[in-house]
């Protein structure tokens, strides 16, 4: 009887630890994907601020990525739903890359904003 009481907590902690490892793996993959998307946004910041359609496409990629992550963290993960959500994320990424190819050919101009510096003189 004592062995059962010793084995049950060990089994419980092992199961809890394995859930955390899986969740950590999903979280790390999600962070890596989000970081790469944010990096693309920040590197093209000046460029995509000038183009409204490009900023919308990048936002749609982030929205679909969030939906995919929400699907992954729910308890019953159905393979068909994950595949469909993954396809949507890839489709949005492809659309944003296609738009980037179309807009890169246009000539970029630097902004003509003049900055003034004011300092106090004693």
**Local confidence pLDDT in tens for the 122 residues of the chain:** 455 556 656 656 555 555 555 567 677 777 777 666 665 555 555 444 545 455 555 666 777 777 777 766 665 666 666 667 777 777 777 777 655 555 444 455 555 655 555 555 54
pLDDT at 121: 53
Name the residue with tokens 């994907």: 33
Name the residue with tokens 């089994």: 11
pLDDT at 68: 73
pLDDT at 84: 72
Q: Rounded CA gap, 34 and 103, in Å? A: 23
- Chain-centroid distance, C-alpha 110: 29
- Chain-centroid distance, C-alpha 45: 17
pTM: 0.28
SS3 38: helix
pLDDT at 105: 47
CB 73 within 8 A of CB 26: yes
């Amino acid at each position: 009887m004592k062995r059962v009481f010793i084995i049950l907590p060990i089994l419980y902690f092992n199961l809890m630890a394995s859930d955390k490892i899986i969740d950590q793996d999903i979280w790390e993959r999600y962070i890596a994907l989000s970081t790469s998307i944010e990096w693309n946004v920040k590197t093209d910041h000046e460029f995509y601020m000038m183009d409204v359609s490009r900023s919308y496409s990048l936002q749609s990629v982030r929205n679909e990525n969030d939906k995919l992550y929400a699907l992954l963290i729910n308890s019953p993960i159905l393979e068909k739903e994950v595949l469909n959500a993954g396809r949507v994320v890839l489709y949005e990424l492809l659309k944003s890359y296609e738009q980037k190819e179309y807009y890169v050919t246009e000539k970029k101009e630097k902004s003509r904003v003049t900055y003034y510096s004011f300092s106090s003189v004693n």
